[in-house]
Structure formats: C-alpha cells, structure tokens
Amino acid sequence: NLSRVASRMTLPWVLATGSDDRLPTVAQTRALAARAHGPTHVIVVPNGGHGWSLLEASPQLVRTLAEFYRRPA
C-alpha cells in the first residue's frame, strides 16, 4: 500500500500523473504527496494518461525529471 509508505517518505519525491489518468487521479496523487514528510513535487501532464504515455506526451516532463535526479540529495 503506497499510502503507508508515503507517510514514511523523508527524501525529496517527485510524482507525475496525467490529467486524464483515472488510477491514480490527480487528486489521489496530490493526497499521496501530502502524506509525505519530505519535500514533494507533483507534476500534472495536460492530456496525459498513465505510465510511459506521460513521457511521450510531455518532453518537458522528461527534462523536469532529469533535472530532479541530477540534484544532489
């Protein structure tokens, strides 16, 4: 159950979801991020679906994720 794990997160965490994703919805993704104890960043891709389709729908998401993972912990 990811919501249980989320409440133990203390490291920076980025979550990406599509505006058209039904599982999880944008609201569910934001609620999950709110449970974390560390910094979170939620990215919502307009007209995005689920999974790899997000990367295909948004080159900006790919750049944002690359930038996030290049930062020192």
pLDDT tens digit sequence for 11-38: 898 999 999 999 899 999 999 999 999 9
Query: What band does 71 get if pLDDT is binned at 50, 70 and 90?
Result: confident
Yes or no: say if 20 and 53 are a contact pair by the CB < 8 Å rule: no
Question: How large is the average pLDDT for residues 43-60?
Answer: 87
Proportion of the chain in helix, strand, coil states, percent, rounded to 5: 45, 15, 40
pTM of the model as a whole: 0.82
Retrieve residue 45's tokens.
């891709």
